[in-house]
């Protein structure tokens, strides 16, 4: 099943701690709304509203089996957000590489400046 979702809708959905916890519960199991609600101290209608938000942005799919409706996680919408967040990690990694390079350049310059002075001192002592 293909969902049309926006990064903003997915980000808004996962901004709520209850919805994040629901996603964690669905990470390994398909559960009914009642089974999900057992893990929270909020009403079943509130859980149903959270599930509706997750379903509408494509993070959760539901499947009717007899009289029960099972919910499963669809992590696909999270990939776009993860990719967006990863660009900051890459930038940070590049910044660390550039900082290390800058440190190495300064160290090398310092060594080159110190080398002639040390060499001159060594010649004076031997003369």
CATH number at residue 16: 1.10.10.10
- Token look-up 């859980």 returns 47
Q: Name 112's bridge partners.
A: none
Q: Is residue 46 part of a domain?
A: yes
In whole angstroms, what is the distance from residue 21 CA to residue 39 CA? 9
Domain hosting 124: range is: 75-127
Q: For the chain, how many structural domains are there in total?
A: 2
In whole angstroms, what is the distance from residue 25 CA to residue 21 CA? 6
Q: Name 61's bridge partners.
A: 72
> What pLDDT digit, counting tens, does each position of 15-64 carry?
999 999 999 999 999 999 999 999 999 999 999 999 999 999 999 999 99
- Write down which residue in 74, 96, 118 finishes a domain: 74
In whole angstroms, what is the distance from residue 119 CA to residue 127 CA? 13
In whole angstroms, what is the distance from residue 81 CA to residue 16 CA? 16
Residues 13 and 66 in one domain: yes
Q: Which helix (H) or strand (E) holds 78?
A: helix 76-126
Q: Is residue 93 part of a domain?
A: yes
| Cβ neighbours, 10 Å, residue 94 | 10
Q: Look at residues 33, 84, 38 and name the one whose alpha carbon lies nearest to residue 60.
A: 33
> What pLDDT digit, counting tens, does each position of 62-99 carry?
999 999 999 999 999 999 888 888 877 766 667 777 88
> What pLDDT digit, counting tens, does each position of 90-114 carry?
666 677 778 888 898 888 888 888 8
What pTM value is reported for the model?
0.66
Residues 62 and 110 in one domain: no
Q: Is residue 1 part of a domain?
A: no
């Amino acid at each position: 099943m293909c969902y049309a979702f926006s990064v903003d809708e997915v980000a808004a959905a996962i901004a709520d701690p209850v919805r994040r916890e629901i996603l964690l519960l669905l990470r390994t199991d398909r559960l009914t709304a009642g089974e999900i609600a057992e893990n929270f101290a909020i009403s079943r209608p509130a859980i149903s509203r959270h599930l509706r938000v997750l379903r509408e942005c494509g993070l959760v799919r539901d499947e009717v089996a007899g009289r029960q409706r099972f919910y499963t996680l669809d992590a696909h919408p999270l990939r776009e957000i993860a990719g967006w967040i990863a660009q900051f990690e890459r930038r940070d990694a590049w910044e660390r590489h550039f900082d290390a390079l800058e440190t190495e350049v300064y160290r090398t310059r310092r060594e080159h400046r110190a080398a002639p002075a040390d060499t001159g001192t060594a010649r004076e002592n031997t003369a």
